[in-house]
Amino acid sequence: MELDELKILLNQKLETDHLLRSEKDLADLLSQKAQSIYAKIKRSLWFEIISSFIIVIAFGYIGFTSKYQSINIYFSFFTALFIPFILIFFYLLNKTNKINQSNKPIKENMQNLVDLMEEFMKRYFQFTMALIPICFTFSFALGYNEKDPIPAIDHAFEDYNITKGFLIGFTIGYLVALTVGVFYFTKWYLKKLYGNYVQELKKYIAELQEQA
Amino acid sequence: MAADKEFIRLLKEHQKIIYKVCNLYMQSHADREDLFQEITLQAWKAYGNFRGDSKFSTWLYRVALNTAITFFRKEKKTTHIYTTDELPDIAGSGYDPIEDQTKAMYAAIGDLSKVDKAIVMLYLEDYSYSEISDLVGITANNVAVKMNRIKIKLKEETKKYLATA
């Protein structure tokens, strides 16, 4: 038998196996926690917002309380840098909400969210990678121009008899290791927070677009 | 609030739509309950944007199917194969070829992909290809092509289920 011949019976089957809920039961459900891909992405964005807040507070505290000028400038600069980041996360949260709650067709909704998150992940990755040389150059410049000696660093030079050649070699090695580490960590982090969900949505979009 | 009451009243009236979607997409009772909750939540969040351009039932189908497709369960990597024994018996005991056919067809629908299930669901509700196209966001021609392919697949799978029963 074909699908059309069984339409009524199939509809009956789909309507069975449940107890109808009262208005009170339905009202109670409205305060529960969501689990859709949209909700997971929003949770990831909230995680980033909270993390950024903690970083702003911690960096701000170091920036304002350290007695070394180089550390003051360095941490204050990054405190200021993280504030627009928080605003971007709120903007994304708002956009995700709008997409999720829109009355557009299913495929269009999914495509809009994928486009938004892909652009965000691309920019996030580029920005993180660009920060490495900026941080390095900035910290070197600040350290070089620091008026007050920093005992921990000065002692390290004396105690371990660090030569100029070793310092240059170590710095290059550290920079390379940091770049490679940040590269893979950021890829993994973005995939974990957003990429897996974006892939899932792309799979459904591809299936919808697919012609027999 | 008036919006809360109005929404809950409409939802109560149309809750069978959500049950149908849950029964189609989830196998275990617990999963169906979770999906029911998720759809209810999403519908409530999206209700502010519902302007009555379409019927509430059509709007609810859109929200319910969108949520069911994107309902994320990490542990559920494998597709569940429905067995005919798991299905509710509406015709009572005894041999009934139509009942067996229905059970087998129901089981075959359960094996479809999330996207195909959404199209079948709307088709069973007598939505036209054009209406399905508006809801899902693909062309009516694509819906027709997909529906054709799904029907052939369901016919073959039903035969397999009946042969193994």
Radius of gyration of chain B (CA): 17
Residue B18 touches chain A, beta carbons under 8 Å: no
User: How far is A145 from A171, CA to CA, in rounded Å?
Assistant: 18
Listed range (A7-11, A167-171, B29-33) with the worst mean pLDDT: A7-11
Which pLDDT band holds residue A90 (cuts at 50, 70, 90)? very high
Q: Above 90 in pLDDT, residue A37?
A: no
Listed range (A115-124, B82-91, B136-145, B146-155) with the worst mean pLDDT: B82-91
Alpha-carbon dihedral A44, A50, A53, A55, rounded to 10 degrees:
-80
Across chain A, mean pLDDT equals 85
Look at residue A211 in the predicted model and tell me its pLDDT. Answer: 61
User: How far is A177 from B123, CA to CA, in rounded Å?
Assistant: 57
CATH number for the region B88-165 comes to: 1.10.10
Phi, psi (rounded to 5 degrees) for A210: -60, 130
Q: Above 80 in pLDDT, residue A153?
A: no
Q: Above 70 in pLDDT, residue B92?
A: no
Long-range pairs of B59-62 with CB within 8 A, sequence gap ≥ 24: B59/A103, B60/B11, B60/B14, B60/B17, B60/B18, B61/B17, B61/B21, B61/B121, B61/B122, B61/B125, B61/B135, B62/A103, B62/A105, B62/A106, B62/B135
Amino acid at A112: N
Q: Above 90 in pLDDT, residue B87?
A: no
Amino acid at A177: A
Is the pTM higher than 0.95? The answer reads no
Look at residue A21 in the predicted model and tell me its pLDDT. Answer: 66
Count of C-beta atoms within a 10 Å radius of residue A71: 18
Nearest to A15 among B16, B36, B65 (CB): B16
Residue range B51-80, pLDDT digits in tens: 777 788 888 998 899 889 888 765 444 444
Nearest to B71 among A21, A35, A105 (CB): A35
CB contact under 8 A, B70 and A37: yes
Q: Above 70 in pLDDT, residue A32?
A: no
CATH architecture of B1-77: Orthogonal Bundle (1.10)
Chain B residues touching residue A96 (CB < 8 angstroms)? none
* Residue scoring higher pLDDT (A21 or A80): A80
In angstroms, how far is the first alpha carbon of chain B from the final one?
53
Chain A residues touching residue B36 (CB < 8 angstroms)? 29
Look at residue A33 in the predicted model and tell me its pLDDT. Answer: 66
Task: Enumerate the domain spans of chain B.
Answer: 1-77, 88-165
Look at residue A12 in the predicted model and tell me its pLDDT. Answer: 75
Which pLDDT band holds residue B104 (cuts at 50, 70, 90)? confident
Sign for the pseudo-dihedral over CA of B128, B55, B135, B152: negative
Assembly ipTM: 0.73
To the nearest whole angstrom, how far is the Cα of A50 from the nearest Cα of chain B? 23
Q: Above 90 in pLDDT, residue A71?
A: no
Residue in A5, A8, A18 to test binding to B, most B beta-carbons within 10 Å = A18
* Residue scoring higher pLDDT (B99 or B112): B112
